[in-house]
Amino acid sequence: MIKGLAITTVWVLDQDRAREFYTEKLGLEVRTDITMGGEGGMRWLTVGAKDQPDVELTLMVPGPPGLDPESAEAMKKLISKGVLGAGALATDDIHADCKALKARGVEFLQEPQERPYGIEAIFRDDSGNWFSFTQRREGDLDMSQDWGI
């Protein structure tokens, strides 16, 4: 039976730049950084929040083995256009954390705003992916009620 999410992919344009962005700007930690298949093989780079050891983001450049060359180029164009949302990251103090992330050079597309589920800001990573940065309302862990799920 499925027990939860362990790893999810964030498509990036450059793994070295992404590693720097996700660790130095967002404060995530590197979990894995290895090349599989010897020199010229696929680089497996994962990061995660230090307080959430069971969930990782794989920072992958579109290409083989998962994508054929035509699909990889299409994905790279979408990433660089900034149209892909990569997920939601949680915080317990959105105003202080937004200020700290801005000081590290993180580009925000939307300042913190009240939403039915809490307070949300939107930022971009170094490749163009956008993330929801969210502080949930106190005691509101079940978003299905707000969304009619």
Query: pLDDT for 129-146, tens place per residue?
Result: 999 999 998 765 554 455
pLDDT for position 147: 47
This prediction's pTM:
0.87
Lowest mean pLDDT: which of 7-11, 46-50, 145-149? 145-149
Among the listed residues 118, 122, 120, 96, the one whose alpha carbon sits nearest the alpha carbon of residue 107: 122
- In this predicted structure, what is the pLDDT of residue 62? 96
pLDDT of residue 30: 98
What letter does residue 95 receive in the DSSP assignment? H
What's the confidence (pLDDT) of residue 97? Answer: 97
The predicted pLDDT at position 63 comes to 92
CB atoms within 10 A of CB 143: 14
CB of 11 closer than 8 Å to CB of 63: no
69, 63 Cβ separation under 8 angstroms:
yes
Write down the pLDDT at residue 39.
Answer: 77
Token pair 């010229």 in the structure block, residue: 40
C-beta of residue 113 within 8 angstroms of C-beta of residue 105: no
35-92 pLDDT, tens digit per residue, is 988 777 889 999 999 999 999 999 999 998 889 999 999 999 999 999 999 899 999 9
Residue spans of beta strands (DSSP E) within 22-143 = 29-36, 42-48, 56-60, 85-90, 107-115, 118-124, 130-136
